[in-house]
Structure 1
Amino acid sequence: MTIKNTGTTPIDDWYVSWTMPSGVTISQGWNGTFMQSGTTGMVHAPSWNSTLAPGATATAGFLGSNPSSSPPTPT
């Protein structure tokens, strides 16, 4: 996923959350700290890239299992 600051001020300690279909699990992730609670997945900024300047982007990704055909939905 690509996280972009579209605002006019820096974003400190950014994070992204999304809803996944029931049964999906995150097995590993990179370029962030990943967590899961039920059907909610979340990635928090890594310490080395925790502030996004206006217009800046960060990229993170994860691997997981998906027993259904529905993709995760950003929230």
Structure 2
Amino acid sequence: MRPGDPVRASPGTAPTAAAFDALTKTSQAGRPAQLEEIAGAAHYLASEVAGCVQGTTVVVDGGGLAARL
């Protein structure tokens, strides 16, 4: 991914209003992620310092996954 590349979501990934509310309530941040927060993770992964980051999922969800563990 490079600056200016289009971002595409997989078909069927848009949550319903109820699912969105449930995800927001389980997030430790109590709100959806801001664009800058997601962009920061993407910028890191696209940088040279993340050269050895492979085969993993970087979750940017405000702590929602951690709250469910």
TM-score scaled by structure 2? 0.27
Bigger fraction of residues in strand: 1
Bigger fraction of residues in helix: 2
Instruction: State which structure, 1 or 2, has the greater radius of gyration over its C-alpha atoms.
Output: 2
TM-score scaled by structure 1? 0.26
Bigger relative contact order, structure 1 or 2 (CA pairs below 8 A, ≥6 apart): 1
